[in-house]
């Protein structure tokens, strides 16, 4: 289709097909429009039209202003309502507790007690506070005796 149009159109005509403008139906419409009587519009009619246009424009400005404020307000209120529903909705699935007996309970209790003992034994020590100098030298033999070693 583009190739057909390209052959009929001249770049100087800005895309206007002269053959279509000179067709019989187009010439008949041109003669009909030229034959219409020239009417001048009264100043009173123009004035009333301008007043009506100003009223319509003012209403449209008011609608745009209301939509400009109400659109984001509605969006924010819907987002807030959704956040409340998600955050404060009661859980539909009840929490399942582990039984007081069995291997699962023993594993959980062991993990819990080891975590507590680990926290208690390492509380207050930083890696910079730990000194390795005491571990490098042998203890003095005078501080220990055989009874102490046997009790361990």
Q: What is the pLDDT of residue 98?
A: 57
Q: What is the pLDDT of residues 100-130, one digit of tens each?
A: 677 877 888 888 888 877 776 765 555 555 5
pLDDT exceeds 60 at position 133: no
Question: Which is more confident, 1 or 101?
Answer: 101
Rounded CA separation 38/120 (Å): 103
Tens digits of residue pLDDT in 68-99? 989 899 999 999 999 988 888 766 666 666 56
Higher pLDDT, 138 or 152: 152
Q: Could you tell me the pTM of the whole model?
A: 0.32
> Which percentage of the chain shows pLDDT scores above 90?
28
- Whether the per-residue pLDDT at 63 is higher than 90: the answer is yes
Assess whether pLDDT exceeds 50 at residue 1.
Answer: no
| Structural domain spans, the chain | 2-34, 46-84
């Amino acid at each position: 289709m583009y190739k057909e149009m390209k052959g009929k159109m001249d770049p100087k005509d800005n895309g206007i097909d002269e053959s279509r403008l000179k067709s019989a139906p187009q010439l008949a419409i041109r003669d009909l429009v030229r034959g219409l009587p020239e009417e001048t519009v009264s100043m009173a009619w123009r004035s009333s039209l301008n007043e009506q246009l100003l009223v319509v424009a003012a209403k449209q400005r008011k609608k745009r202003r209301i939509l400009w404020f109400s659109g984001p307000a509605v969006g924010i209120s819907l987002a807030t309502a959704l956040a409340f529903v998600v955050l404060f909705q009661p859980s539909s699935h009840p929490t399942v507790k582990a039984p007081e007996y069995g291997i699962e309970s023993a594993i959980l209790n062991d993990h819990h007690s080891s975590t507590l003992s680990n926290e208690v034994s390492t509380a207050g020590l930083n890696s910079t506070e730990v000194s390795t100098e005491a571990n490098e030298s042998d203890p003095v033999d005078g501080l220990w005796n055989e009874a102490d070693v046997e009790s361990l």
